[in-house]
Amino acid sequence: MKIVLTRSMVPGDIQYIKDGLDMEIKDQYEFVVPEEFTEDGICKVCSGADVLLGPYVTKKIVETAGDLKLIQVPWTGMDTFDFSSVQGITVPICNTHSNADSVAEIGVTIVLDLLKKVSYHDRKMRAGNWNRDQKPLNLKSKMLNKQTVCVLGFGNIGSRIGKLIFAFGAKVIAVDGHAQQSETVSEVYKKEEIKTALAKADVVICTLPLTDSTRGFINDEMFAVMKEGVVFVNMSRAAVVDEDAAWDALQTGKIGALGSDVWWNAPKRGESQSYPSAKHEFWTLDNVVMSPHRAGFIEDSLPHLDGAIENIIALAKGKKLIGIVDMSKGF
C-alpha cells in the first residue's frame, strides 16, 4: 500500500502515524513525503498511490495517482478541500475528528467564561481594578443550569458539546437534520426550523461545517430572531458567521457576549501575527472572548491522527471506514 502525504506534517506526527501503522500492517505500506507540497511536487511521487493523506488534492493529483482507494483528511473540517477535483470518481473521502473532545471542551469553557465574566475580571484585576459594580457590563454571573442552549450542528463536535452542557443541568436543543431527541437533548429542529430554535435560546453555540450553503448563514436575519443579550459562541469556521452582522449585533446589544475560536482575519500558514478582524475592533470589547483557533491543540495532541491511522489499517484489512464524507453535503 502506497500512502502519499499531501500537506506538510512535523516529523513527530509522521512518526506517530508510522508507529500506529506498524502495530497492525508493518511491512505492508510505503509512506511517501514529497519534497514540495505543490501540485507538481506531489504528482512527482503519487503515481500508483493507494492513499492520499491530507486536504490538498487537485484533479491532476487524482489522475496521476491512478487507482486510488482512499483520500483521508486527518484534520477537522473540509472547507479547504477542492471537491471539484474528485467529481466523477468513487474513491471514499474520509474526514476523521479525533480532536472533537478537545474542541468541545474549549467551546464549553468559552461559554462559562462569558457567563461568569472570568476574562473580563482578570483583565481588570491586572490593572488593580476590583470592579464589581454594574457598569459598563452587568457583572453578575449567570448560572449555566438556568440557560437554554441551542447547538447548531450536532455532529462529532456539536453532540459532545451537548453532552457536556447537559451535565451542567442546562436545557439543550439542537438544530441538525440527523440528531434525535434523547436524555441529553430536549428538542431537535431541522435547518428550516432554525429560527424557532434560536428564539428559545439564551446561549447559541455554532458548530456548523463551512460549505457553500452555510457560508454567511448566521447573518442579520438570524441574529434578529435571537433573544436580546444572547450569548453567541462560534466553534465552526469564521465564514459561517457574517462579520458585519456579528459586529452590529454586539453594538446594539442583541449579542450580550460573543466568544469564538475562529476569526475572519486569521494569519496565513507559517505566520503568527494578525488582528482577528480587518474590519472591526472586536478585541476592544469587554464582552468578547477570543481564542486563536487553538481548540484542537492539547498537550498530548498526536491522538488527533488516530482516526486516519484506523482508516488506513481498515483499508488494508478490508474493513469498514469511518468518517466518510457525504459529497452532496460537503462534510
Q: Say whether both 155 and 58 belong to one domain.
A: no
Q: Are 305 and 13 in contact (CB under 8 A)?
A: yes
Together in a domain, 144 and 28: no
What percentage of the chain has pLDDT greater than the value 90? Answer: 62
User: What band does 211 get if pLDDT is binned at 50, 70 and 90?
Assistant: confident
Considering the domain boundaries, does residue 243 fall inside one? Answer: yes
Average pLDDT in the chain: 89
Q: In this structure, what CATH number is given to the domain that contains residue 46?
A: 3.40.50.720
Q: Are residue 275 and residue 257 in the same domain, yes or no? A: yes
71-100 pLDDT per residue, tens: 998 876 676 677 777 787 788 999 876 678
What does the chain come to in residues? 331
Q: Quick check: is 328 in a domain?
A: no
294 vs 160: which has the higher pLDDT: 160
Instruction: State residue 198's pLDDT score.
Output: 98
CA triple 200-205-209, angle to 5 deg = 120
The predicted structure's pLDDT at residue 178: 77
- CA 61 to chain centroid: 26
Does 331 reside within a domain? Answer: no
Residue 325, in any domain of the structure: no
pLDDT at res. 82: 77
Asked if 92 and 208 sit in the same domain, the reply is no
Q: Give the structural domain span for 74.
A: 2-98+300-317
pLDDT score at 127? 87
pLDDT in tens, 229-275: 999 999 999 999 999 999 999 999 999 999 999 999 988 766 778 88
Q: Say whether both 163 and 129 belong to one domain.
A: yes
Indicate whether 131 and 190 sit together in one domain: yes
- The pLDDT-based confidence of 10 (bands split at 50, 70, 90) is confident
**Same domain for 104 and 88?**
no
Shared-domain flag, residues 282 and 311: no
Dist CA 323 CA 310 (whole Å): 11
Q: How many domains does the chain have?
A: 2
Instruction: Please give the pLDDT value at position 140.
Output: 79
The answer to whether 288 and 250 are in contact (CB under 8 A) is: yes
What was the pLDDT predicted at 271?
73
Query: Is 324 within the bounds of a domain?
Result: no
Does any domain span residue 160? yes
Structure confidence at residue 309 (pLDDT): 93
Looking at the structure, tell me whether residues 162 and 203 fall in a common domain: yes
Q: Per the domain annotation, does 327 fall within a domain? A: no
pTM over 0.85: no
pLDDT given for residue 302 in this prediction: 58
Q: Indicate if 190 and 105 belong to the same structural domain.
A: yes
| pLDDT tens-place string over residues 121-168 | 898 889 888 876 656 666 778 999 999 999 999 988 899 999 999 999
In a domain, 134, yes or no: yes
- Assess whether 108 and 65 both reside in one domain: no
Q: Are residues 144 and 68 in the same domain?
A: no
Confidence of residue 327 (pLDDT cuts 50, 70, 90): low
